[in-house]
Amino acid sequence: SGSSATPTVTATLEDLELMCPDDDSDGDEYDSDESAFDCTAEGAEKTHFLHVCWSFVGYETFMIDDVARMQRAISELDEVELELLGQDMHRWNAEVLICIAANRKFLNQLPSPFVCCEDLGPDAEELVFHMPPGHHVSSRNSSKVCYTLRQCVRDWAKEGQEE
């Protein structure tokens, strides 16, 4: 292509969202490493880094959405089906919400503007810790966050001591 009209990233939320929209060609929310846009290397690095940070920051939101989806499914069960589950679903739900809040506290410590290879500009802290309005974490990235969390728990648990 070689066009001089290639979009570039500046350190503003608006420019990042214009350069790399939330929707990609397969219908899932935008995933920076599968962009159909011809981003500059610097712009792609910044965008990918910020999407990773926003995936950690967005953990609680997408987990609450998952819990709500499960609650809707459970609400459609009859008494016999609920009995087969063998537990108090209200108590289970409360415990899950407590775990989500604890996980959020941990995951919110991970994003840092100082580990990005590119200069994020004077508003780096704001960029890293606050998702732009309308940004949605891709399902692919949310599953990576959950996998990272499970890996940390496993590594710090008794089972992971040998590693």
pLDDT tens digit sequence for 95-123: 999 999 999 999 988 888 887 777 788 88
As for how many domains the chain has, the answer is 1
Burial (CB count <10 Å: 0-12, 13-18, 19+), residue 43: buried
Backbone angles phi, psi at 22, to 5 degrees: -70, -30
Q: Is residue 24 part of a domain?
A: yes
User: pLDDT digit string (tens) for 49-101?
Assistant: 889 899 999 999 999 999 999 999 988 989 898 889 888 888 988 999 999 99
Q: Is residue 144 part of a domain?
A: yes
The answer to whether the beta carbons of residues 93 and 48 sit under 8 Å apart is: no
Q: Is residue 2 part of a domain?
A: no
Q: Is residue 60 part of a domain?
A: yes
Residue length of the chain: 163
- Structural domain of 76: 13-160
Q: What is the pTM of this model?
A: 0.65
Q: Is residue 70 part of a domain?
A: yes
For residue 86, CA distances in Å to 70, 75, 82, 97 come to 16, 15, 7, 19
